[in-house]
Amino acid sequence: MTRVCLIGNDDVDLSYELLSRETSREALATYDLRRPFDNSIAVRTVSIGAAVALLNDLQWYLTRFVDAAFVQEPSISDEEWLSRSLATALRNGDVEPEDTGEFCKVYGLESVERGSAIAKSSSEDDSDAEDDDRSPETTERLVEPLYVRRTDGELPAYDLRDVERTLVVRLTEAEYSP
Mean pLDDT of 54-82: 97
The average pLDDT across 101-126 equals: 68
Which pLDDT score is estimated for 178? 57
Long-range contacts of 116-124 (CB under 8 A, 24+ apart): 117/13, 117/14, 117/15, 117/16, 117/35, 117/39, 118/15, 118/33, 118/34, 118/35, 118/41, 119/35, 120/34, 120/35, 121/32, 121/33, 121/34
pLDDT category at 60 given cuts 50, 70, 90 is: very high
pLDDT confidence of 122, banded at 50, 70, 90? Answer: very low
pLDDT at residue 118 greater than cutoff 70: no
Please tell me the distance from the alpha carbon of residue 107 to that of residue 144, in angstroms, as a whole number: 6
- In this prediction, residue 138 carries a pLDDT of 78
* Residue 48 confidence class, pLDDT cut points 50, 70, 90: very high
Report the SS3 class of residue 71. strand
Running DSSP on this structure, what letter comes out for residue 74? T
Long-range contacts: 135-138, Cβ < 8 Å, 24+? 137/113, 138/111, 138/112, 138/113, 138/114
pLDDT of residue 113: 78
Write out pLDDT tens, residues 139-174.
899 999 999 999 998 999 999 999 999 999 999 999
Q: How far from 157 is each of 15, 35, 100, CA to CA, in Å?
A: 32, 26, 19
pLDDT of residue 123: 35
98: Cβ contacts below 8 Å, ≥ 6 apart: none
The pLDDT tens digits of the residues spanning 130-148 come to: 444 445 677 899 999 999 9
